[in-house]
Amino acid sequence: MLLLIFRHDNRPDPLNFIFLSPGLGLGISAGIVFLNFIIFDQLNRGFILTCHGVLLLSFILWNIKIFFSDKNHFTWITPQQTKHILWLFALIILSIPLWYQAHFYIFGGWDAWSTWNLKGRFLFLGGENWKNLFNPILWRASPHYPLLLPFINVWGWIFLDYPQYQVPAFTSFLFTFSTIGLLYTGLKQLTKSNAGILLAGALLTLPNYLKLAFSQYCDIIISYYMLGSLFCLICTRKTNHKSYMILAGLFVGFLSFAKSEGLMAAVIISTLSFPFLWWRNPSTEKRKLLKYFLIAAFVAFIPTIIFHVFYQPENQTFINGIVSSEKPSNFLRLKIILGFYLLEIGAPIWNIITLFNSSLQTIDAKWNGLWIIIILGLILSKGKCFRPKMMLIPLFLLLYILAFTAYYYINTYFEIGWWLQVTLHRLLFALLPTVLFWFFYAVWDDNAADVE
């Protein structure tokens, strides 16, 4: 399908095809599985396999037709690009420990077996009773969450008689590998530098990142589609190719079906895409690009719309602290939130302070100072990170952080200290590849000036 999307445009590096393909393919597969449940009200393997077979055969025949009718537009790998395959082998070698370590956390974290994997098993084994997963009695499983990850796992189990634990583990591995690979290949395409392999190595050796990657949570899927959609929008601005815009729209739609945070991120990215592409350069061509984005995003948003309109139950874990008299939002809650942000990001600095004050306790430096290094780099970048051609990412990060900060403040259902302790590091985990992509794209980009 990627070959068809990029039919008439200059295609990305072959490595980018490799890391963009899993997200596109699994997003479509999840949509087919959801369509199956809408039509048959239970798992129908024959329908799912038939749909995949028809799509696969159609794409193959379509590409063959294009190949024989227009060979000039079918050049995928040029002789100069074959050397890039060596870097793929380097990433594969780096990923071997990743797959090995995944087996030490094979059942994932508590939110995997009690939420995501539970829903996947419900869909796979529940028959016509699959809608019981929306029962309010299962409020601890967050039945109001969208179902992209469970549907992907159901597709992985489609040839099995029983939902084996290896499938969710492989899903996490595949999205982790694809996210890190896209971080490297995206930077390579935009900056012409292979130094991004160092970032891949850094993430693959960061214990907290690997633990969260193997947790089988939906955060790694949010991380992948977030990075992919922003990368495609930046490439659209740089190349004016509609293919990137179509892919960005599809990825934004898939992102919205991943989780509540994913929907929030998708809305922000979609909103920012208009001024990002239109600013200083309004034209008929830009209007056409935005049209392609809207069409692709609408198609990919359809599962999200159907879920929220017809299936999503009320959120049982929400209290509006703005209007609640029993659990009101107050200034103390806001101070705890902001203080927790500082401690989560600046834990190493806090631990140094404790060396000189025995009354203070050290805290777990989960990120080994990586966020401190990033912040210092942003300060020392002399404004490179805020040039117009990359303003999409900092604006998105600002609005996204403000949005989930507001949610932490308004929703007073949970005790805020505990809630931050079990969720904030996962939000930062999902953002980390995008933040690294933004910073190093700004630093390594050869064009210091932004030509509009």
Structure tokens at 356: 């000189």
Burial category of 154 from C-beta neighbours within 10 Å (exposed 0-12, middle 13-18, buried 19 and up): buried
Q: Could you tell me if 253 and 297 are in contact, meaning their C-beta atoms sit under 8 angstroms apart?
A: yes
Domain that holds residue 105: 2-72+84-444
pLDDT at 388: 86
Q: Could you tell me if 187 and 234 are in contact, meaning their C-beta atoms sit under 8 angstroms apart?
A: no
The residue-averaged pLDDT of 257-284 equals 88
Q: Determine, yes or no, domain membership for 451.
A: no
CA distance 279 to 55: 38
pLDDT digits (tens, 9 = 90+) for 23-36: 999 999 999 999 99
Q: Determine, yes or no, domain membership for 450.
A: no
pLDDT digits (tens, 9 = 90+) for 291-348: 999 999 999 999 999 999 999 999 999 999 999 999 999 999 999 999 999 999 998 8
Q: Determine, yes or no, domain membership for 141.
A: yes
Q: Determine, yes or no, domain membership for 131.
A: yes
Residues with Cβ < 8 Å from 414, sequence gap 6 or more? 317
The residue-averaged pLDDT of 125-134 equals 95
CA distance 83 to 369: 35
CA distance 269 to 265: 6
Q: Determine, yes or no, domain membership for 449.
A: no
Q: Determine, yes or no, domain membership for 93.
A: yes
- Comparing 439 with 11, the larger pLDDT belongs to 439
Q: Determine, yes or no, domain membership for 8.
A: yes
The residue-averaged pLDDT of 373-393 equals 88
Bridge partners (DSSP) of residue 411 are: 320
pLDDT at 436: 96
Q: Could you tell me if 452 and 281 are in contact, meaning their C-beta atoms sit under 8 angstroms apart?
A: yes
pLDDT at 452: 42
Q: Determine, yes or no, domain membership for 176.
A: yes
Total structural domains in the chain? 1
Residue 426 has pLDDT above 80, yes or no: yes
pLDDT at 164: 93
Residues with Cβ < 8 Å from 309, sequence gap 6 or more? none
